[in-house]
């Protein structure tokens, strides 16, 4: 049974009063989620009892640290149904994972007359690395259109595929629109056209089951901090044959098999992409986050968020002057980005904060998408497993206070 009251007890920060008499209502999980006590304590336990560098030492602490670090990798691989744990590469975050693909696979395989496809709803992290590489190699970038309702235009995608792109890189779920793209269909169509696929799973993997083998994804990127885990660690999943052919991204310790004055040979997977001392405690915390999410159940989390989303949409759509980007709960995750008449999103967020309600304001690292809708910014409320309908009620009451303040 999914009991949100019991789940909330696992998150110490939700008991905080952020202003006198104002208990925290956290509606900003799309930016970064809160952490359960089990994750916090797992990292504390590592530092108290097993703190040492990994892979290199033969003493007890080094062996314990290595075991914890690699055990987390195994848990992550199982969580996304990766065939092998060595297909899970530790990075700092989703952004670094995408940059890794761009600067290894992309630099090795793209040339001046090639084409890659992105979508109009991408986060900057899945636009800028490709623009940077394009400026050096000269390949073209086209953007799959979205409909006025905020969904991906599949017909436009099919027309672009006729041009035989080398890569299709897309977000599984938009961090602004909340739109959940039909990833399996997009990947099948891309493969039929001869393209490699990269899925930005930052907003998907934390919220509903993601199976890389079922999707047949070539690459998948995601971050721990959006899925009740620590900051500073993320993952790049890749198909084994692709990863094996890719050159190292960074040089230094642990990514080498042998070094001579005349050159070096790279380590085996996954270590050839993990240069230097990694985020060991964060990996331990990541493993604990996987344990926590699995104990709750990803299907349960998905259902709960959908209930909260539908309830919130029903409430917020009744607030005068509120306009939601993609207000259809079908194929949409727990994200509501909206404008509020002529009131600036930062003003909305600041006034809500006085009532202890944390939301996001700005272009959410999706400036081109906002320009497409001819708006500079939006206010965004985003939900996760610990949010309640009572919090939604307080959020909507807060919007009426904003309206009253600005008359």
Q: Catalytic residue among 319, 365, 372, 375, which?
A: 365
The closest of 230, 43, 70, 74 to 51, measured between CA atoms, is 43
The Cα–Cα gap between 151 and 92 comes to: 30
Distances (CA, A) of 144 to 117, 120, 134, 151, 186: 7, 6, 17, 11, 11
φ, ψ of residue 45 to 5 degrees: the values are: -65, -40
How many C-beta atoms surround the C-beta of residue 265 within 10 A? Answer: 10
- Which residues, 6 or more positions from 225, have their beta carbon under 8 angstroms from its beta carbon? 32, 33, 93, 231, 232, 233
**DSSP state for residue 267 in the 8-state scheme:** P
φ, ψ of residue 222 to 5 degrees: the values are: -160, 170
Q: Is 266 a catalytic residue?
A: no
> Count of residues for the chain?
407
Structure tokens at 307: 């209930």
* H/E segment holding residue 378: strand 378-382
3-class secondary structure, 201: coil
150 touches 179 (CB < 8 A) = yes
Three-state secondary structure of 177-217: CCEECCHHHHHHHHHHCCCEEEEECCCCCCCCCCCHHHHCC
Is the bond into 141 cis (omega within 30 degrees of 0)? no
Distances (CA, A) of 221 to 5, 37, 94, 126: 31, 26, 5, 10
What residues act catalytically? 365
């Amino acid at each position: 049974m999914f009991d949100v009251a019991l789940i909330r007890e696992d998150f110490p920060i939700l008991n905080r009063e952020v202003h006198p008499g104002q208990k925290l209502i956290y509606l900003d999980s799309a930016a970064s989620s809160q952490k359960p006590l089990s994750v916090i304590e797992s990292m504390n336990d590592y530092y108290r009892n097993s703190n040492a560098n990994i892979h290199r030492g033969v003493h007890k602490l080094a062996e314990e640290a290595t075991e914890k670090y690699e055990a987390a990798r195994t848990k992550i691989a199982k969580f996304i149904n990766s065939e092998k744990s060595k297909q899970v590469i530790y990075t700092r975050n989703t952004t670094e994972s995408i940059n890794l693909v761009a600067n290894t696979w992309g630099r090795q395989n793209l040339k001046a007359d090639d084409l890659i496809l992105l979508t109009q709803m991408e986060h900057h992290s899945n636009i800028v690395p490709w623009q940077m590489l394009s400026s050096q190699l000269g390949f073209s970038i086209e953007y799959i259109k979205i409909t006025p309702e905020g969904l991906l235009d599949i017909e436009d995608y099919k027309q672009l595929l006729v041009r035989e792109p080398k890569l299709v890189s897309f977000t599984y779920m938009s961090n602004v629109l909340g739109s959940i793209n039909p990833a399996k269909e997009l990947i099948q169509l891309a493969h039929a056209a001869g393209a490699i696929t990269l899925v930005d799973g930052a907003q998907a993997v934390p919220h509903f089951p993601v199976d890389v083998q079922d999707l047949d994804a070539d690459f998948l990127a995601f971050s721990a901090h959006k899925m009740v885990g620590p900051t500073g660690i993320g993952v790049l999943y890749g198909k084994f044959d692709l990863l094996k052919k890719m050159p190292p991204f960074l040089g230094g310790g642990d990514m080498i098999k042998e070094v001579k004055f005349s050159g070096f040979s790279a380590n085996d997977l996954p270590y050839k992409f993990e240069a230097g001392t990694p985020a060991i405690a964060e990996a331990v915390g990541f493993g604990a986050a996987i344990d926590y999410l699995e104990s709750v159940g990803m299907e349960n989390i998905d259902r709960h968020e959908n209930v909260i989303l539908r309830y919130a949409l029903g409430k917020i759509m009744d607030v005068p002057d509120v306009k939601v980007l993609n207000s259809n709960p079908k194929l949409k995750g727990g994200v509501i980005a909206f404008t509020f008449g002529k009131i600036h999103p930062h003003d909305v967020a600041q006034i809500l904060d006085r009532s202890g309600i944390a939301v996001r304001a700005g272009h959410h690292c999706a400036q081109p998408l906002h320009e497409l809708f001819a708006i500079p910014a939006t206010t965004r409320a985003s939900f996760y497993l610990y949010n309640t309908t009572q919090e939604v009620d307080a959020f909507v009451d807060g919007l009426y206070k904003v309206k009253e303040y600005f008359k």
